[in-house]
Amino acid sequence: MKKQYTVTLSGRVKELGFMRFTEDLCKRLLGHGIIYDVGYYETKILCEVEESTVNEFCRLAKESKMVTETKVEEGIQLPYHGGFVVPV
């Protein structure tokens, strides 16, 4: 059953190529959602998928070596003002 999740990626999220990598991975696994930056070291992804899919997404994100930590929370945490949103 699909649920709504907020996935937080922590690490070197400002590194060259990180956003493109994240967008491509989201499109491939999550289908659609919203990506936005939270400060210098975090990126959040809002999505609605199966639990197994979000777990696979986190596993692949950590393999990138740019992501040091992932956090998955059920429910959608809307972006604060000042961030940018990239629909995927």
CA distances from residue 7 to 43, 51, 73 in whole angstroms, order as listed: 8, 12, 6
Mean of the per-residue pLDDT values of the chain: 85
Would the pLDDT of 18 be above 80? yes
* CA pair distance 84, 86, nearest whole angstrom: 7
Domains of the chain: 3-79 (3.30.70.100)
**Angle formed by the axes of helices 18-25 and 51-63, nearest 10°:** 150
Q: How far apart are CA 69 and CA 20, in angstroms?
A: 18
pLDDT at 72: 96
**pLDDT of amino acid 80:** 56
Mean pLDDT, range 51-73, rounded to an integer: 93
Residue 3 has pLDDT above 70, yes or no: yes
